[in-house]
Every structure is written in structure tokens, then in C-alpha cells.
Structure 1
Amino acid sequence: MAHLTPPVITPALARTAAPSFRLRSTSLNSVRLRRVFDLFDRNGDGEITVPELHLALDRLGLGADLDELAGAVAAYVRPGRAGLGFDDFEAFHCALGIALFGDGSAVEPKAEEEEEEMREAFRVFDENGDGYISAAELQAVLDKLGLLDGRSIDGVRRMISAVDRDRDGRVDFFEFKNMMRTIELAAS
């Protein structure tokens, strides 16, 4: 279903978007978007309602006015539905990206741009900026997102050990990058 109405971009909504809002790697973007959708769909019903989206943005420190958000999302909610299905969410995300950053979807990313996007994503997890993602940092991010995986430090340590090649108990940028490329390949 193609939506022709662009989302209403208010100054408050524009402030929440970072340049990494839209990765230029299509397959990685699709995987990331599906994960974001699943995270925001708090009750797992396959739809993201405006209150769910508002709560998720709030928890990420990207608070948006509830009425402005509802106005921007309204054109993407299909008749008879309470919220955005994944296809609707994807269309909304795409239109929001175009409205904020222009249509750069036809441009293939340069290696430097991909590297910088990876570094920016890594910095989200590396809260203290020491160049490593520790179990505590990963747990903090998972907790901010309201994920159950973040409640058990042992579970977080197991997640880290799955990608920790040098077995130092933390994830460096190289390990993070390999993990992200593995995710991208699995999605292709």
C-alpha cells in the first residue's frame, strides 16, 4: 500500500531525527527497521499504536509531542486498524526520511559513510566512550528499550560472548562491525 501523504514534520519531530535515521544499506535498514518495529510493538500484536511509538521515543530520550506524533502517523494507519503494521511503519519511516533528508535512496553508500554509520551505532552502546561495549552498557541500552533481555546480567554476558572473538568479555568496534555484517548477510 503506497501512501502519498507525506508526514507532517514539525520542529519537535525534526529534532528527534539523526542523520543515521536512514541507513543507506537497504538490507541492513530493513533488518534494523524490523527490529525497531518489534521493539516498539510492546504488546506483540503486529501493530504500533501512537501511544506505543510515543513511549518508545520517550524511553530513547527522543520525546515527541503526542498530538504532533498522532498527526504525522495518521495518514499511514490503514482504515480499521489501531496502529501501523510493519509495511505501514516502513512507508512512514521512508517518507519521514525523505521529508527530513531528501531522497538519497538511489545512491549507493560509500565505504566511508557505511563505516561512520557503524561507528555512530557503536557509540549508542558504548556509553562511556572507551571503545568497548561492556555487559553493563549493553544491559543499560536494553533496559532503556524496555527489553526483558536486559534484566539478567548473565543473559547479557551470553549475548556478548556470542560475538566476543577475543574473549575479553566486551565487544570492540571490529567485533561489533562483524556482527552487523553477519546480520546484514542473514537478511539478504
Structure 2
Amino acid sequence: MATYAAEGGPSFTTKEIEDFKEVFLAYDRFHTGNIRVKELRKLFKACGQNVSDAELFHISNHFYTDGKKTISFPDFMKVMEGRARKSCHEEDLREAFTVFDKERTGRFDALQFQHVLESIRVTEKLEQDEIEKFMKEIDVNKDGNIDYEELLSIIKH
């Protein structure tokens, strides 16, 4: 079975590629092998993908930089691979988070966070003021805990 992958990224099956191509061609109104970037939201939705405004803005800007306002199928597949790779990475992070979330509360307090950092050998021993500094940076909603979304936002940036 053929697959489509770039540089060790996720692979798509032949069927998935054919499905993406079929949807892509449905949006290629002028049969040029390209679709207008402004059609991307509809294309993603037709492929069963949700795309945030921020991600759509980023993708659009990437393809506007070369003066084109269109995207080819190979470029679209690169975007899809990047999204799949990101999704796989986030799934790995969520799985790792649940391993350390022993009480299954969906969050860590400062002491649990210290144990996590020490267990993955980020540091041998953290001082209390260092833990408090980390907590202030990561605990966006200031509830005294670090939830998955807060941790993910720090890792992404």
C-alpha cells in the first residue's frame, strides 16, 4: 500500500490520499491544479479537519509570501502532514501528562509538578522559590495547579 510522507512524518494511505485529492479537485474550480487559499477552511472541513483562525492565518501567510494566492495539492499534503505530526505530538504529550497525573484530576499542584520535573531529570532538586517561579509562569488561570492545556501552551512556546 502506497503512502505519502515527508521526512519521517506521518504517512497517509493510498485511500486517504485519494480522498484528499478528490476533495481538493472539487475545490479546484478552474482545473489549474491549485485552489485559492481563501478556500482552505472549506477544504479542511470537507476533509473532516477543524482549523483554527490562527492556524488558517499562518497557513495563508505562508502561501501568500511568494505572491501566489493559491495552494497546490502537494503543498496541501505538506500542510496535512504537519497537522498530523502536530496531532501525534500532542497525543504523546497528553499520554505523558496522564502518566504523571496519578490522581487523575487533570492537573498538578506545585508538589506534584516538582516530582514530575525530578522524575524526568529536568533537575536534581528544585528550591521552593524555583517551583513557585515555574508555577507563576505556567499557571495561567492562577488556580494553584497546572492543567494539561497550560502545560501544552508552555511547551508550544
Q: TM-score, normalised by structure 1?
A: 0.35
Q: Which has the higher contact order (CA 8 A, sep 6+)?
A: 1
Which structure: larger Rg? 2
User: Which structure: greater strand fraction?
Assistant: 2
